[in-house]
Amino acid sequence: MNHPSESVIRARIAEILTQGFGFSSFRPYQEEVCLNAASGRDLLLVMPTGAGKSLCYQIPGLARQQTTLVISPLLALIEDQVAQLQAKGFKAERIHSGRDRETSRQVCVQYLDGHLDFLFVAPERLAVPGFIEVLARRPLGLIAIDEAHCISQWGHDFRPEYRMLGQRLPALRPAPIVALTATATPQVQDDICQQLAIPNATRFVHGFRRTNIAIEVAELNPGERIERLRSILTPEERRPAIVYAPTRKRAEEIAEALKSYFEVAVYHAGRSSGARDRVQTKFITGKTDVIVATIAFGMGIDKANVRTVVHMALPASVEGYYQEIGRAGRDGLPSRAVLLHSFIDRKTHEFFFERDYPPSVVLNKLFDATGSAPIDSDALRRKTGIDSDTFEKALEKLWIHKGVLINSDQQVTRGTDHWKIPYQSHCEHRKMQLEYMTRFANGHSCRMVQLVRYFGDQEDAGGVCGICDFCAPDQITGTRTRSISDDEAVIARQILTALCSSDTAPATGRLHREHFDDKILDRRQFERLLGALARAKLVELYEDSFEKGGTTIRYQRASITTEGREVEQLDREALVELVQVADEPAKKTGAKFKKKKSKVTRRLGVENENQTFVSPKLVEALKAWRLGLAKSKRLPAFRILSDRVLLGIAEAQPTNEESLVAVHGFGPKLAEKYGRDLISIVEAHVSR
């Protein structure tokens, strides 16, 4: 078979770009990616949100002149992309849980007849018996896997169902695979390629530097943040804005506090799809200039002129944070990203981690209670005596790491005994994601350089951005600064003198221990002054590490700059004028999280945690529906809905989508998949 030359392929993709999509030229890096994919090479593309990833599979797919299969976990994004392609005259269709069986059957016929340029499917569709075989009946031109980080357990949005793709795609080869994601560290990149069995994939990792986003980080207690937010957004040029809140309740509180000052709306998973669509439309069309949202907002949003993104608490990972700030300034104009945080935010994340990742000893107890003979999950829970909430979490984690197997009848048998190391590694990785995010927030170097290094951008030169709170402290909006006091100037001079006399760059912990009495200057005050000296370019701070017992221990070193050596000779007044320190947030007792002892030790369907009566018949109907769906998808029942969510639905008896998504733990994605069925079950029960 004769393969077209590179020049022919290059001409073909250029023609599709101009005639098919109406663009006169490629964005940076797009042409090389399209050329490789159109030539039939497997590749992994890591490019930030808004950099034009979609064209990097759409153009090569059209150039290969056969159907492109696009696998995406976001139904709203699937609908949006299909509509855009159809509007340009391309033959694009989709199959997912939001479409009825007859419509999906007709799409399959179109595909088999060779009438589709693009077929979009949700990943769980590939688990439907016979569907892969249908796709394999004709050759594909290209397989695109969007949000590919979901495949990796080291990613920030790991989804076990997505990980099954590696087992299902071989039947569709030799079509080239293009895996795309906006956020993947080198470790996640390796895992994606391993799981998809594309070890030799060409990797394109670039474009992470955003030259127009000024990043700021300010330490503030939660009670001080709304007032600071209002001052940040008051200048008209800082809107439109997206404000990310850590919880639905907090989003509502913030929106309520801002409504007297701005055209503001709230967006989170507890609102109906109609309400969310209306909020999104008003924001995109400019009728609303501030959106207060949870992380449910933003996926697939194409609004170019967002001027400010504010995080009202510490995010759980650098990956998620970077993806969210990337929604600012897509038009290339100056924009700002402000993170407001304090130590209590980390404690909140740690509380939820303990809830979601049971100790290995709990998983081991569950593992030891299984054997080669199948056992019903309810019987297994009773046998172990583990409370229902912890049991579900532990069973799910064991299943993910193959410690147990669950058949279509929801019977549990023992799996491999090699689950412990991967589970512990996964737990440590989750902790490290939070650790990296904390280090970023507390960092004393160029914010953009920190992000570029984190993602391993292959093309970046590593220069400072010149506009973040470290590079341009006089331009910041989120942090209030002041000149250091006379007493602080004395300590600052001691730091500079100590660094001047040091032959090496000492660890900051050692510098504090050897030169300062902790009773006079505690470590926190020392770090604040050290950060102020770094922002004044008098001191350079950088990370170092060493290995101990198989664990990497990371710490910070300090060295004096040329400017610092000169300033060390200046008088105290000159030092006070030069060095600005962030205002210390008022000391405040943080919220305390107590692990609530679950009362869910009863059989599901009698009473909830508040001892409110719930109809056993409705619960049994919901359980029967869940079991049937789990069998058809070949998944454990808890992967459909947890017992807690199922009980919440039975208690609330929702009769519309708005009341359904108000059930704790039931968001818009679940509503898209299962809302119609669940409302029908509840209505049938209520009408009796």
202 three-class SS: strand
* Cross-strand bridge partners of residue 412: 375, 406
pLDDT for 338 beyond 70: yes
Alpha-carbon distance values, 668 to 55, 279, 395 (Å)? 27, 14, 25
Q: Do the Cβ atoms of 138 and 111 come closer than 8 Å?
A: yes
Q: In the structure, what pLDDT confidence band is assigned to residue 588 with cuts at 50, 70 and 90?
A: very low
415-474 tens-digit pLDDT: 999 999 989 988 988 888 898 999 899 888 899 999 988 887 777 888 899 999 888 887
pLDDT mean over 113-127: 91
pLDDT band at 683 (very low <50, low <70, confident <90, very high): confident
d(CA 195, CA 123): 14
Which CA distances in Å does 155 have to 151, 159, 180, 397, 421?
Answer: 8, 9, 13, 16, 18
Average pLDDT, the chain: 84
Q: How far apart are CA 59 and CA 363, in angstroms?
A: 47
Q: Per residue in 395-430, pLDDT tens?
A: 999 998 889 998 878 899 999 999 999 899 889 888
Among 281, 270, 351, 336, residue whose Cα is nearest residue 306: 336
Tokens 């001892």, residue located: 611
- How many CA atoms are closer than 13 Å to the CA of 514, on its beta-carbon side? 11
pLDDT of 85 reads: 95
Residue indicated by tokens 């507390």: 442
Contact 436/454 with Cβ under 8 angstroms?
A: yes
Instruction: Answer left, alpha or beta for residue 673, where phi above 0 means left and psi between -120 and 50 means alpha.
Output: alpha
Residue 374: per-residue pLDDT: 92
Of 153-162, 466-475, 486-495, the range with the lowest mean pLDDT is 153-162
pLDDT for residue 174: 92
Q: Which residues pair with 339 in a beta bridge?
A: 217, 311
Instruction: Give 217-276 pLDDT, tens digit per residue.
Output: 988 888 889 999 999 999 999 999 999 999 888 999 999 999 999 999 998 877 877 788
- Whether the pLDDT of residue 284 is over 90: the answer is no
Q: Answer whether the bond into residue 174 is a cis peptide, omega within 30°.
A: yes
Q: Is the pLDDT of residue 594 over 50?
A: no
- Please write the tens of the pLDDT for every residue from 294-336: 875 655 466 889 999 999 999 999 988 998 998 899 888 999 9
**Mean pLDDT, residues 380-389 taken together:** 91
Query: Using CA atoms, how far apart are residues 90 and 93, in angstroms rounded to an integer?
Result: 10
pLDDT the model gives residue 595: 42
**Which residue would you say has higher pLDDT here, 557 or 459?**
557
Domains in the chain (CATH in brackets) are 6-205 (3.40.50.300), 213-345 (3.40.50.300), 481-582 (1.10.10.10), 599-688 (1.10.150.80)
| pLDDT of the residue at 89 | 94
Residues 6 or more apart whose CB falls under 8 angstroms from that of 75 comprise 96, 97, 98, 122, 669, 672, 673
- Length of the chain counted residue by residue: 688
The alpha carbon torsion through 207, 240, 146, 66 (nearest 10 deg) reads -90
pLDDT of residue 275: 82
Cα–Cα dist 243/189, whole Å: 30
The residue assigned the tokens 């599709």 is 16
Q: In DSSP terms, which residues pair with 555 in a beta bridge?
A: 544
pLDDT at 156: 60
pLDDT at 589 over 60: no
Peptide bond into 240 cis (omega under 30): yes
Pairing of strands 142-145, 551-560: unpaired
Q: Are 181 and 192 in contact (CB under 8 A)?
A: yes
Using DSSP's 3-state secondary structure scheme, residue 527 falls into: helix
Cβ-contact 550, 479 below 8 angstroms? no
The percent of residues in the chain predicted with pLDDT above 70, rounded, is 90
Are 385 and 369 a contacting pair, CB within 8 Å?
Answer: no
Query: Does 161 or 274 have the greater pLDDT score?
Result: 274
Q: How confident is the model at residue 380 (pLDDT cuts 50, 70, 90)?
A: very high
DSSP symbol at 16:
I
Give percent of the chain above pLDDT 90.
39
Burial class for 129, CB neighbours closer than 10 Å (0-12, 13-18, 19+): exposed
> Residues 530-555, buried b or exposed e (16+ Cβ, 10 A)?
bbbbbbbbbbbbeeeeeeeeeeeeee
Residue 631 has pLDDT above 60, yes or no: yes
pLDDT per residue as tens digits for the range 136-155: 999 999 999 998 988 887 76
pLDDT category at 184 given cuts 50, 70, 90 is confident
